[in-house]
Structure 1
């Protein structure tokens, strides 16, 4: 038995590229940059070394996420590795690559976070700002339609975990 699961988080290196197969299946390709820390042998300092990971997503979810996956967005992805091999049409040489077939995407930065809009800072993370939707049909001077009561969004309590609390 073998396990083929990948979990990475990083920044998108380019906007998602949406295409379709001959059969009509949507294919979304994008890249994620992740860092690896290593000690420089000459200086003894720790350095970040970037790794660029090609990712691909298929189907209706690819259509839905295409407009949100833009360069610089911080994401966490889960998927599986797939190795592809083909022959280069121009040189005739065999080529191959390893890519992640994405099952899940989680956005780690708020939309528009580069401009510091759309979120408020809480505990070092971007948190979305929730507000009442704008009523486009409202006319000036007309009474507003009653809105249903929406319970406030609650933040879970922080958990303090210490090494002595872990049973192994």
Structure 2
């Protein structure tokens, strides 16, 4: 049995790019910066940034695209996929995360809305004593 699952959180290095395949499938690509703390020989620590390429497909990707802006903090779950190709006689390959789930983790709501979008309606909380509860 094999297991191919990864979960990372970090900040987008630049805004996500949306493109469509010939069949009309939405493809959203973005890069997530994930910091890793490394101990140096002198005992001090420094941060190293891993830049992870991510790709998401379908209607959810198309809907999330406006929210995936530079600097946005996200948590993603997906699986690793290795692509290989040849160009001008040279062999290339890369490993990317095929995204299954995205959680926007940013602070203020205004930064999580696409530009020009109306402000969200306030959420109305339900009372635990609603008449609809059968007990």
TM-score, L = length of structure 2 = 0.80
Query: Does 1 or 2 have the higher relative contact order (CA < 8 Å, sep 6+)?
Result: 2
- Work out which of the two has the higher radius of gyration on C-alpha atoms and give 1 or 2: 1
1:46 matches 2:20: no
Q: Shift of the alpha carbon at 1:131?
A: 6.0
Q: Shift of the alpha carbon at 1:36?
A: 1.1
Aligned pairs, how many? 120
Counterpart mapping for 1:56-135 below 5 A: 56-88=55-87, 91-110=88-107, 111-112=109-110, 132=122
Aligned to 2:7: 7
Please give the alpha-carbon distance, in whole angstroms, between the structure 2 residues aligned to 1:112 and 1:151: 21
SS at match of 2:32: strand
Per the alignment, do residues 57 and 44 of structure 1 end up closer, same or farther by CA in structure 2, a change over 3 Å counting? same
Please give the alpha-carbon distance, in whole angstroms, between the structure 2 residues aligned to 1:93 and 1:57: 27
More strand by share: 2
Aligned to 1:151: 125
Per the alignment, do residues 20 and 37 of structure 1 end up closer, same or farther by CA in structure 2, a change over 3 Å counting? same
Structure 2, gaps ≥5 residues long: 113-119, 128-135
Q: Deviations over 1:17-41 (max 9, x none)?
A: 0001111111000000001111111
Q: Deviations over 1:75-129 (max 9, x none)?
A: 00000000001112xx320100000000000011134459xxxxxxxxxxxxxxx
Show structure 1 runs of 4+ deviating over 3 A. 110-114, 130-133
